[in-house]
Each structure stands twice: as C-alpha cells, then as structure tokens.
Amino acid sequence: MAHQIKKIGVLTGGGDCPGLNAVIRAVTRNAILNYGYEVIGYRFGYRGLYKNETMPLTLETVSGIQHKGGTILYSSNKDNLFDYTVEENGIEVKRDVSDVAIENMRKEGVDALIVIGGDGTLTSARDFGRKGVKVIGVPKTIDNDLASTDFTFGFNTAVGVATEALDRLHTTAESHHRIMILEVMGRNAGWIALESGVSGSADVILIPEIEFDINKIVEKIEQREREGKLFSIIVVAEGAKPVGGDVVVSKIVTDSPDPIRLGGIGNKLAYDLEGLVENHEIRCTVLGHIQRGGITSSFDRMLSTRYGVAAVDLIDAGKFGNMVCLTGNKISYAHLENVIGDTKNVNPNGELVKVARAIGISFGD
C-alpha cells in the first residue's frame, strides 16, 4: 500500500505447465478483491511486453480457468528481450529491447510485474529487476528442478499423468508378458520418472542422476522371470544415459535460448534390449506433452493459488525482486539474484531413491 501500486501486469513465459491459469486467477482475485489494483495480462510472454499486447484480467476474464491446463495469456519460450531478434534493413539482428518494454509499461501505467515461468523466464525477470522494474517471480515447471523451492507447480500433475500411464501399461504388459517402457520428461532431472515410477509400481527406473548398465536391466528382468513375473515395466527419464554414454537428443530448436530437446532414449533402450532379452516383446511409449496438458491436479491448483496470492502480497509489502517459494509446506520467498541457475536434482543417495531400492526397484546400476 505504501508503494502506491495501482496497476499490475502479469505474464507467463516458457513451456505451458498445469497450474499457470490457477496462478493467473489467484493473482487477479487477490489483487482486485483485497488491494483494489487493476490487473492486465501480457500475451505471449515477454513478446507481449515488447509489443504491448495486453488483455484485461478481471474477475470475469479469470472465471472458470482454475482447472484448465495451458495459459489464457499464451506463452513463448523464444523471446528474450535482452537478446531479441529484430529486423534492421531487411536483416535479422539481435538487440536488447528491454527499454522498449519498460517504456511500454510506463505508458500503460503498470507499476509492478508478476512473471510466471521457469529458469529462463525468471532470468529475464531478474534482469528487469536490475533495471528498476518492480518485479515478482513465480516458479513453474513440470520438471521440479528449481533448487530454491521444494515444489514447482505442474510437477504433481505430470507425476499423476505418468503414474496413470504406468497403471495402464501394466494391463498390456501382464496380458502379453511384455517388457513395457515408458519415457517421461524432466530434462536433466529424474523427479518425474522417480515419483511416477514408485507410485506406478515400475520394476526399473532410469534417471539422469544414476547412469545405467543395460546388463543390470536384463538381470532384473530375468530375476523377475525366476520369480514367476513374466512382464516388466521400465520408466525412463528423457535425460537418462548409460554408463559412459550420452543423452539422446530429439531436436535442436535453434531460436530457443535453451535449444536442446531431449527424447528418444525409450525407443533406443527398446531396440538395445531386443537382442538381450529372450521370450518377450518390448514396446516403448513416449508420454511427451500429455504430461503437461489437460486437467490440473488439486495439489497444483492449491500450490498455484498459494503462489498467486503470495505474489500479490509481496507487491503490497514492497518486497520486489523476489520469487515466491514453498519451503517445508510454508510459503516463503527468495531473491531472484540468489535463485537463478540453481538447479535441483535427485540425490542418488537420498531418501526417495533408498525407498525405491528398499521395495526392490532397480535403477539399472
């Protein structure tokens, strides 16, 4: 209140993620109902800030969006305004256009900005903060790989989808005595594979944090056979790699700040196992963007709502330059200067891996 905030802007950057709409809704409702702020959304992430493409966020426009995946503001994972592609004399060149965005905000009367995104989007939020913009970050990613928060929203939904997929794959695995492989997302972190693998009763979980030996996977399949279990379920994170080997890259998105897209390890593993396992057909399912789409889980709706409310409370308290976090089930905040680039991986010796091993799950090591 002391900071004379009248109008706030909101944008979503990076890949879509379950819970984005729930954050937008919570921000808007808290801002209007408790602080009397006007709220606008920038469309297509930072591009909207540069081109001043806005839409009003009101109690009406955010109605009915809580459960929906995606983002009503649209998103982009390509537009870094500090290194933005513009055309000059018919040639594409990279320019820092952040001042244009700041001037747009000034003209629009936007006093503070809430940026909802992952590491790349929040890096730009930090840089706008350095230039004096009153900015608050909200962490999103299905990968759950940001160190400063116990959970990012979107992760719980992705784990739920992957778990259901494993439940369904059990049907075919049991009926046909097959080896079924499920490849899940997560970039270089194994959180989705680990949690869905334990919840979905996988026999083998392969994660980037523990390099695997294909012979150990064969041993596990054979051990199960000796126990009368004539099928096996393997969940493999897209960033998993064999001992001494490398990740499988599915695509290079040249105009993305983070161009490497992982993917393909599931099918490669199926191919490699074919020659080593007798008596079983091996099939791979790649879950892909299904993990990010559709209905948002109640956990993520709750977390997103808490984050959205906290982001507006931080604006009112004048605590700019911070990102909201979850620490031990309490909402807290950390300065963007201290959180960027700080990633969180599965600890190979941590409790969750020990739990999985304790119930007989193999990590292929």
Tokens of 43: 């469309």
Q: Least distance to ligand F6P from the beta carbon of 80, Å?
A: 15
- The dihedrals phi and psi of 230, each to the nearest 5 degrees, come to -95, 20
Looking at beta carbons only, is 262 or 282 nearer to ligand F6P? 262
Exposed, middle or buried: residue 20 (CB in 10 Å: 0-12, 13-18, 19+)?
buried
Measured at the CA of 309, the angle between CA 304 and CA 314, to 5 degrees, comes to: 120
| Burial classification of residue 312, based on how many CB atoms lie within 10 Å of its CB (0-12 exposed, 13-18 middle, 19 or more buried) | buried
Structure tokens belonging to residue 48: 């909207």
Q: Count of H helices and E strands in the chain? A: 11, 15
- Residue written as tokens 């209905």? 295
| Start-end of H helices in 179-263 | 191-199, 214-226
End-to-end CA distance of the chain: 56
**DSSP state letter for 78:** S
> In this structure, what token pair is assigned to residue 206?
């392969």
Beta bridge partners of 285: 182
Of residues 127, 143, 300, 313, which has the active-site annotation? 143
Tokens of 344: 């969180």
- Which residues form the interface with ligand F6P (CB under 6 A)? 15, 77, 141-143, 185-187, 238, 261-262, 292
127 is catalytic: no
Beta-strand (E) ranges in 155-256? 179-184, 204-206, 232-237, 249-252
Helix (H, G, I), strand (E, B) or coil at 128: helix
Check if the beta carbon of residue 270 is closer than 8 Å to that of residue 282.
yes
CA distances to 47, 113, 133, 187, 220 from 207, rounded to whole Å, are 35, 36, 39, 10, 16
d(CA 137, CA 315): 11
Active site residues: 143
